[in-house]
Amino acid sequence: MLRKANPYRELERSIGYRFRDKSLLETALLHRSYRFENSPQNVDNQRLEFLGDAILGMATAAYLYNAYPDKLEGKMTALRSRVTSGKALAHTAHSIDLGVFLKMGKGEDQSGGRKRASNLADALEALIGAAWLDGGIRAMDKIFKTLFQPQIEALSDNVWEGNPKGQLQELTQARWKASPQYRITGKEGPPHAAIFDVEIELPDGTTASGRARSKQSAEAAAARAALETLSPK
């Protein structure tokens, strides 16, 4: 008797875990658009995504707590965000070609759904939730060591890269037990190409400013400027 081929062999190899119950894996890869286009289908990966989000957050927090006893809460939070944010999860999912395995509606597929960051991030969280149901802590440990631990180890020496606001927040909390205050001081140009001016005030009264094409980018620019005026004591 011929054994049925496993269509998920490469995916399981990429995540470091082999599912016992393949139906859980299939559900994790089932985008809601497929359910909408196929009326008898009454399940998709959204519930597993909810579970996986919580499981990944717990696993990452536990790893950081045990692996880096010298790091403060702010730096551990930043590290966790660097590997569990939607953008980071989408990048990880792309690296294992997760989009190839997604089952979705024709409309979503034709509009580029297999490469859409939100779909990839959601599917990866759903896959983690499915693995937890399939194999518990053992399953999560294997996936975490394969996909996430190497990322954390690579980032640990530069935890605040790309997050000047987070770095400044930790610095002001440590020095003054207070947070910096941001305010928009100017906005010019048409709505589709507006330029924002933002001023930041530190707890000691020091100010710095930033200018960019979005409020968030202007705040980040102001935070970088403020960091240049400060030096660790």
Q: Which of 44, 49, 53, 122 is catalytic?
A: 53
Q: What whole-number distance in Å separates Cα of residue 221 and Cα of residue 200?
A: 10
Q: Which of 49, 108, 122, 125 is catalytic?
A: 125
Q: Among this protein's residues, is 73 annotated catalytic?
A: no
DSSP state letters, 15-44: HT---S-HHHHHHHTB-HHHHHHSTT----
Q: What whole-number distance in Å separates Cα of residue 104 and Cα of residue 132?
A: 23
Q: Hey, what's the torsion of the CAs at 32, 37, 41, 44, to 10 degrees?
A: -10
* Residues in contact with 129: Cβ distance below 8 Å, sequence separation at least 6, in sequence order: 28, 47, 48, 49, 50, 51, 52, 53, 55
Q: Among this protein's residues, is 44 annotated catalytic?
A: no
Single-letter amino acid, residue 42? N
Query: Where are any strands of DSSP class E within the chain?
Result: 181-188, 195-201, 207-212
Active site residues: 53, 125
